[in-house]
Amino acid sequence: MDTTSPRIIVITGASDGIGAAAARLLSAAGHRIAVVGRSPEKTAHVAREVGGKHFVADFTDLADVRRLATELDDAYPRIDVLANNAGGILGGDRTRTVDGHERTLQVNHLAPFLLTSLLLDKLLASHASVIQTSSVGARLFGHLDLDDLGHDRDFTPHRAYGTAKLENILFTTELHRRFHDQGLSAAAFHPGGVATNFGAESTSFFRPLYQSRIGKMVLVTPEKGAAQLVRFAQTQPGAAWQSGAYYESGRVARRVNPQARDADLARRLWDRSAELVGPR
């Protein structure tokens, strides 16, 4: 494992759950962490714990994402790792953000797409790794229809979530295809069933499951859930992991949503996402 040189690691969704656990583990290993969260108090608290800077942004507002990108760009001369980890299953009804996009799509896919795009020059200059916290939900519930990205026709919290997590995988494929020959690497992973606040903002059955005593017995700790993110963040792609791939349980996943293998869909999703978030 290459842990010799400290890295500058930006983690979104680092105010809680998997992201906060990853921030603690990577800081203990000597890396500099940019702690990005939504709640100002929780984000500042984790940043104090890990001795890092904190940045607050609500991904339901793309103006916040643009401000965040500027703040990160100003704060660091390079960014070695961008972990797009913020997200989750949301709501019960279909809700639009101030930007007019379905909320689950925006928080889980459009916001990290925009953040990565805005930081792209710095990420390329840093030969960075860009890591997406996806989910097995991509295979279980995801179905991407580029003519109905906002799920006007088939909204359920699970369909919207699974599709957004499928978009994380397709985004990873396309990041790799476009930029790996310029030194940028990308991976996506399912963290396992992890005992966090996951589902707390949803009417999904995940909410009672994750908060129940049985749930807490079968779910793994946030530290275990963060293990793959920690590995991608402090090791070299090529040697330790394969850029462009989606991982489950520490290995390249064999069973995936068939749409996750569609390279043309990945290209078209990129173009459509760029249109939706506007100029970089």
Q: What are the catalytic residues? A: 161
> Nearer to ligand NAP by C-beta: 38 or 126?
38
Residues 203-242 touching ligand NAP, rule: CB under 6 A, are none
The DSSP element (H or E) to which 129 belongs, if any, is strand 129-133
Q: Residue 141 interacts with ligand NAP (CB under 6 A)? A: no
Question: Using the 8-state DSSP alphabet, how is residue 146 labeled?
Answer: G
**Measured from the CB of residue 273, what is the shortest distance to ligand NAP in angstroms?**
17
Instruction: Give the distance between the most distant pair of CA atoms in the chain.
Output: 51
Q: Residue 37 interacts with ligand NAP (CB under 6 A)? A: yes
Q: Residues 100-139 vs ligand NAP: string with x where CB under 6 A? A: -------x-------------------------x-x----
**Which of 141, 198, 247, 270 is the binder for ligand NAP (CB under 6 A)?**
198
Tokens of 20: 């906060």
Q: What is the DSSP string of 69-111?
A: HHHHHHH-S--SEEEE------BSS--B-TTSSBHHHIIIIIH
Q: Residue 58 interacts with ligand NAP (CB under 6 A)? A: yes
Residues 7-36 touching ligand NAP, rule: CB under 6 A, are 13, 15-19
Tokens of 127: 């030969």
Collapsed DSSP state (helix, strand, coil) of residue 54: strand
Residue nearest to ligand NAP (CB): 17
> Nearer to ligand NAP by C-beta: 75 or 140?
140
**Which of 112, 191, 237, 244 is the binder for ligand NAP (CB under 6 A)?**
191
CA-nearest of 219, 215, 217, 156 to 193 is 219
Among the listed ranges 82-90, 119-127, 240-248, 263-271, the one in contact with ligand NAP (CB under 6 A) is: 82-90
Tokens of 5: 């040189």
260 touches 143 (CB < 8 A):
no
**Measured from the CB of residue 200, what is the shortest distance to ligand NAP in angstroms?**
6
Bridge partners (DSSP) of residue 81 are: 9, 129
Q: Residue 88 interacts with ligand NAP (CB under 6 A)? A: yes
118 touches 280 (CB < 8 A):
yes
> Nearer to ligand NAP by C-beta: 17 or 244?
17
Q: Residue 157 interacts with ligand NAP (CB under 6 A)? A: no
Among the listed ranges 3-11, 69-77, 83-91, 120-128, the one in contact with ligand NAP (CB under 6 A) is: 83-91
Q: What is the DSSP string of 196-232?
A: SSTTTTB-STHHHHHHSHHHHHHSBPHHHHTHHHHHH
Contacting residues toward ligand NAP, per CB under 6 A: 13, 15-19, 37-39, 42-43, 57-60, 85-88, 107, 133, 135, 190-191, 193-194, 196-198
